[in-house]
A = this chain, B = another copy of it.
């Protein structure tokens, strides 16, 4: 299996750099081929701007979705973006590895998503009708790919728990896991998250590395997060609201969009406890 490994940390000699080597070794031991996008090493351009669309007339008002659509359709996006799209097309799996900065991806990785997930590839795919609203959320260009996040956070685990002040980690990652990866159709595995990343000694590194190896070994076989498919009957079309008979009266927010009730049940038991 080919896995695209996107790495977004500015220092190779970091905890993240070390974790990446652990992941690479285990993925290769499993027989996988790794395609690497080391965004800092590549000097990745982060911001979407007019230069991304060489064919768009210089004096014409820039309409980003229209420019992206036209550029993708004629394979005339910039060479760096076209190269990433080629890697994504070749890959059966995608791993995004980054430190959690301000509760989201570093800018350079957000810029990889903003620029590479073009109209016609990452979004704007499929027909819109009374029966379906495009190929998205479970369908689309990533629908045969598995995807997973590898994340380090400086904060403490309880601060990210069901009742932790930062908000539950699953909810903080929802805009990425559901909004960036499931949207174009990927099957998203639960994330690997390492907390208190700035205070790690050798013993904890060893156990965290082993936990990461286990996740890499399971990349092909682990059950993905059971997000609901948009066009599978769970949502109204075109309003794309969850059908009224789905999701218990105790479910709300992001948890509604998983067919597995257990995250909500886990939260409720945490509340009760």
Chain A residues proximal to chain B, CB less than 8 Å: 10-11, 13-14, 40, 44, 46-50, 61-65, 99, 101-108, 110-111, 113-114, 117, 137, 154, 156, 158-159, 161-168, 171-172, 174-175, 178-180, 198, 230, 235, 238-242, 244, 247-257, 264, 267-268, 271-273
Number of this chain's copies in the assembly equals 2
Known: A46-B47, A48-B101, A49-B40. A167 touches B230 (CB 8 A): no
Chain B residues near A255 (CB-CB < 8 A) = 252-253
Chain B residues near A162 (CB-CB < 8 A) = 252
Chain B residues near A103 (CB-CB < 8 A) = 175, 179-180
18 A-B contact pairs sorted by A residue (CB < 8 Å): A11-B63, A40-B49, A44-B47, A65-B198, A102-B179, A104-B110, A107-B110, A110-B110, A137-B165, A165-B230, A167-B178, A167-B179, A167-B257, A172-B175, A175-B175, A249-B250, A250-B250, A253-B253
Known: A65-B198, A154-B65. A163 touches B46 (CB 8 A): no
Residue of B nearest to A168 (CB): B253
A161 and B271 contacting across the interface, CB-CB below 8 Å: no
B104 and A117 contacting across the interface, CB-CB below 8 Å: no
A90 CB to nearest chain B CB (Å): 22
Residue of B nearest to A166 (CB): B179
The 10 closest A-B pairs by CB, nearest first: A107-B111, A46-B46, A103-B179, A103-B175, A165-B240, A107-B110, A11-B62, A252-B267, A47-B108, A46-B107
Chain B residues near A50 (CB-CB < 8 A) = 10-11
B171 and A253 contacting across the interface, CB-CB below 8 Å: yes
B101 and A114 contacting across the interface, CB-CB below 8 Å: yes
Residue of B nearest to A66 (CB): B198
Residue of B nearest to A238 (CB): B156
Residue of B nearest to A10 (CB): B49
CB < 8 Å: which of B114, B164, B241 contacts A107? B114
Residue of B nearest to A61 (CB): B13
A106 and B47 contacting across the interface, CB-CB below 8 Å: yes
B117 and A163 contacting across the interface, CB-CB below 8 Å: no
Chain B residues near A239 (CB-CB < 8 A) = 156, 158-159, 164
